[in-house]
Structure 1
Amino acid sequence: MIDKEKVLSIVNEELEGSDLFLVDLKIGKDNKISVYIDGDNGVLIQNCIDLSRKIEGNFDREVEDFELSVFSSGVGEPLVNARQYKKNIGRNISIITNDDQTIKGELISVDDDKVVVREIPKKKKDSPVEMEIASTNIKEGKIIIIF
């Protein structure tokens, strides 16, 4: 079985000092490794290729076979860390709280403890309201894509 800590160490070492960061790392029982990355300025295909080569170069397929995929965190995927929220300040977001309340609006600010959203008013005559949402109270946050 591929050691998750070893993969995590390789990924962190490779991404250190760049604007890229790890979003998720999954290793299945069948040694299927899935690495999800994001970046403060987006992710290029070349970033995924370089990271894939770095990980693959640290394992020997003769000793242990594995399948490796490196992905950029996709549009519509839930945001999972403060850094992803910060890079999306100014965009529209939908947040589901732990009590299943849905809040939609413009992401105004982010810190380690909370996010601030200027909620879209339910009625046109109402004024927008800024809401502070504790990070611990966020079940899921997704950027609203407008076409």
Structure 2
Amino acid sequence: MDKEKIRNLVDLAIQENSELFLIDLQFLPENKIYVEIDGDSGVSLNECIRVSRGIESNLDREEEDFSLEVTTPDVAQPIKVNRQFIKNIDRTLAIRLKNDTKLEGILKKVNSNSIELEWKTREPKPVGKGKITVVKTTTVSFEDIAEAKVKIIF
């Protein structure tokens, strides 16, 4: 199987829609091709079909048999590429850092090397008894993130 040709076909199919981006491309045993794509505002079933057809129509099953799976990210899976952070601004993330610290907050900003999280917490009043709600923020470098997942809230 010509992996470079398939990579080029995947790139060409994705480039037809500037909102799409590649998450993962794997060549699995028994000539299975696994393509995972995402989009800045999601991916429709029609887009998955279009990408699949764009790849498959340029490969010859007579030459070599294969199976092709074009899919979108599972909501329970961690974020794999930085561009996914941008599409999840204003959503709650659960993050585990490389030092095993856990953070949870609303993704507010994304730049080229970090993200900003915001969350509310209850703290003792500076004067008197009781607690007040305080909004906190922190900046987290991409290189410090071991895993980040979008938290599903019902």
- TM-score, normalisation: structure 2: 0.87
Please state whether the residue corresponding to 1:127 is helix, strand or coil.
strand
Deviation by residue 1:46-95 (Cα, 9 ceiling, x = unmatched): 11111111111121111111111000112222111221100111110111
CA distance in 1 between partners of 2:86 and 2:55 (Å): 28
Deviation by residue 1:74-121 (Cα, 9 ceiling, x = unmatched): 222211122110011111011111111110000010112001111343
Please state whether the residue corresponding to 2:134 is helix, strand or coil.
coil
Q: CA RMSD in A?
A: 1.6
Instruction: Pick the structure with greater CA Rg.
Output: 2
Mind listing any 5+ residue stretches in structure 1 that lack a counterpart? none
Aligned equivalent of 2:73: 73
- TM-score, normalisation: structure 1: 0.91
Correspondence 1:37 to 2:44: no
Please state whether the residue corresponding to 1:128 is helix, strand or coil.
strand
Number of equivalences: 146
Deviation of the 1:122 alpha carbon: 6.7
What is the percentage of aligned positions where both structures have the same residue? 38
Mind listing any 5+ residue stretches in structure 2 that lack a counterpart? 124-130
Change (3 A) 1:94 1:69: same
Aligned equivalent of 2:4: 5
Contact 2:120-2:133 at 8 Å conserved across structures? no
Please state whether the residue corresponding to 1:43 is helix, strand or coil.
coil
